[in-house]
Amino acid sequence: MTISARDAHHRVLITLLARLQYWTTDGTLSNAPSIIALTDGEKAQPDIFWVSESNQRCQHLQEDLWQGAPDLVIEVVAPDTEAQDRGAKFHLYMAEQIFEYWIVNPVSKFIEVNVLLRGRYQRTGLFEAGESFSSGVFNGRVFDVNDLLGIRPEA
């Protein structure tokens, strides 16, 4: 059965939330429709974001509104959002000094990890099915791409 890009987006989003919720016990995991109010009046609505308990730069103001920079932002790209996720949002998150930015492609089955180094994002890797990567915001925890994307082994 072939699923649409939109269905793939939703399935991966649900899987990511479930997996990360299990592993992120020392902070708050949130997702759209929550909004992050950033500097200069900018607002963003990332697919997923995480705020560590030690983060003093990001505060929960009310039900769906946060103020400041979370530790991690994840965007699950779709054909109609990828240009914005790689362009305007990439630069906005970098300007806000968000420590890690993951770009997840559910159709091509990869996770691109960008880490803030000296004020700019540096891509630490483009990790495909069967690979794993570590996350600095989660103290070096290693994540399996297949697990995060919900890829099941072939029978």
Domains of the chain: 5-149 (3.90.1570.10)
Give me the residues of the chain with pLDDT under 70, please.
1-5, 154-155
Instruction: Show the beta-strand stretches assigned E in the chain.
Output: 27-31, 35-37, 43-44, 48-52, 58-62, 65-68, 72-76, 100-105, 110-117, 120-128, 132-135, 141-144
Q: How far apart are CA 115 and CA 118, in angstroms?
A: 10
pLDDT at 1: 45
Which pairs from 90-93 meet CB under 8 Å and 24+ separation?
90/114, 90/121, 92/38, 92/42, 92/44, 93/44, 93/121
Q: Evaluate whether 68 touches 38 at the Cβ level (below 8 Å).
A: yes
- Secondary structure of the chain: what % helix, strand, coil (to 5)? 30, 40, 35
pLDDT digits (tens, 9 = 90+) for 109-119: 999 999 999 99
Query: Among 26, 5, 105, 122, which residue's Cα sits nearest to residue 71?
Result: 26
Residue 35: beta bridge partners?
A: 65
> How far from the centroid of its chain's Cα atoms is residue 46's Cα?
8
